């Protein structure tokens, strides 16, 4: 049964991470094209830093780093009288009240906390990628459209809200759909973050040697379990492709692009 729940976990992760990553990405993109220099630097650095480094490193890094950052902040806030250093040699020590989750919390809180850390990590990493795509899309809105808005006396803020944002989606969608595929394919990494996801269960249930699973009198079936996962992901990718193609068709409607023009001609 847990194995089926794990599929739910993966879908839940996707459902929460995708919008959250979009928010991060949108923020990054807006910051990167801001007129205030420090904000622009922050946005650009955020998007640039993710390039050139394998993301698995980020996944391993962020979970510990975020955990420690939260505990550190709570430590500063809850135990101001604490005098010993937090890093004692190789150990990271905060006071009991600042532990996250609290030592006496029930099991499900631990699981939820681990899961939210994973979501936050995914959102930060994929937010950077989404930011990149959205930034490019904002730049790709035809210059003439913006000039027209200016000619009508729109302020920069109005131009952004009424012209750039509605029009950028056509340009962003190919990149975003690519990103969605990548996000689907990144979900097995949850396993590394200590969440009991499908990879975890495929290993546990398929294996033959674990003592707690001696009730399953079968030899090593992990190959079949992973084969099933492979097919699950293939189907998921295929369905996403079809859906995204439909959305692209809808969005192209009435846009000043080659595909939009082709649609108009086909209809006429």
Structure tokens at 123: 């959102």
- Is 257 in a helix, a strand, or coil? coil
Q: Which stretch binds other proteins (CB under 8 A): 98-106, 110-118, 162-170, 227-235?
A: 227-235
Q: Determine if 135 is a binding residue for other proteins (CB under 8 A).
A: no
Stretch that binds other proteins, among 48-56, 98-106, 210-218, 252-260 (CB under 8 A): 48-56
Contacts of 88 (CB under 8 A, 6+ apart): none
Asked if 197 and 203 count as a contact pair (C-beta separation under 8 A), the reply is: no
Q: Is 192 in the site for other proteins (CB under 8 A)?
A: yes
Closer to other proteins by CB, 27 or 207: give it.
Answer: 207
- Using CA atoms, how far residue 11 sits from 34, 82, 149, 183, 215, in Å, is 35, 42, 41, 11, 29
Q: Please, are residues 100 and 74 in contact by the beta-carbon 8 Å criterion?
A: yes
Binding mask 49-88 for other proteins (x = CB under 8 A): --xxxxxxx--xx--xx--x------------------x-
DSSP element (H, E) containing 82:
none
Smallest separation, CB 102 to other proteins (Å)? 19
Q: Name the token pair of 96.
A: 């009991």
> How many chain residues bind other proteins (CB under 8 A)?
42
CB of 86 to other proteins, least distance (A): 11
Residues in the chain: 268
- CA–CA gap between residue 95 and residue 86 (Å, rounded): 9
- Please give the residue ranges that form the binding site for other proteins (CB under 8 A): 51-57, 60-61, 64-65, 68, 87, 90-92, 129, 179, 182, 184-189, 191-192, 199, 202-203, 206, 220, 222-223, 226-227, 229-230, 233-234, 237-238
């Amino acid at each position: 049964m847990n194995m089926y729940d794990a599929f739910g976990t993966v879908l839940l992760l996707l459902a929460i991470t995708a919008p959250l990553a979009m928010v991060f990405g949108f923020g990054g993109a807006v910051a990167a094209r801001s007129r205030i220099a420090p904000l622009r630097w922050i946005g650009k650095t955020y998007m640039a830093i993710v390039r050139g480094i394998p993301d698995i490193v980020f996944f391993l890094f962020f979970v510990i780093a975020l955990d420690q950052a939260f505990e550190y902040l709570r430590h500063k806030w809850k135990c101001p009288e604490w005098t010993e250093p937090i890093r004692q040699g190789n150990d990271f020590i905060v006071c009991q009240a600042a532990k996250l989750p609290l030592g006496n919390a029930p099991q499900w809180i631990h699981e939820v906390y681990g899961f939210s850390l994973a979501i936050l990590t995914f959102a930060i990493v994929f937010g950077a990628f989404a930011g990149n795509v959205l930034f490019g899309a904002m730049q790709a809105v035809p210059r003439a459209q913006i000039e027209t808005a200016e000619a009508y006396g729109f302020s920069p803020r109005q131009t952004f809200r009424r012209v750039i944002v509605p029009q950028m989606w056509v340009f962003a969608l190919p990149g975003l759909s690519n990103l969605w595929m990548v996000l689907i394919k990144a979900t097995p990494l949850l396993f590394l973050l200590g969440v009991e996801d499908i990879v975890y269960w495929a290993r546990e249930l398929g294996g033959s040697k674990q003592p707690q699973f001696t009730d399953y009198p079968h030899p090593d079936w992990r190959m079949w379990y992973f084969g099933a996962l492979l097919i699950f992901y293939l189907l998921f990718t295929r369905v996403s492709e079809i859906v995204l193609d439909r959305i692209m068709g809808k969005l192209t409607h009435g846009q000043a692009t080659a595909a939009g023009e082709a649609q108009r001609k086909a209809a006429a």
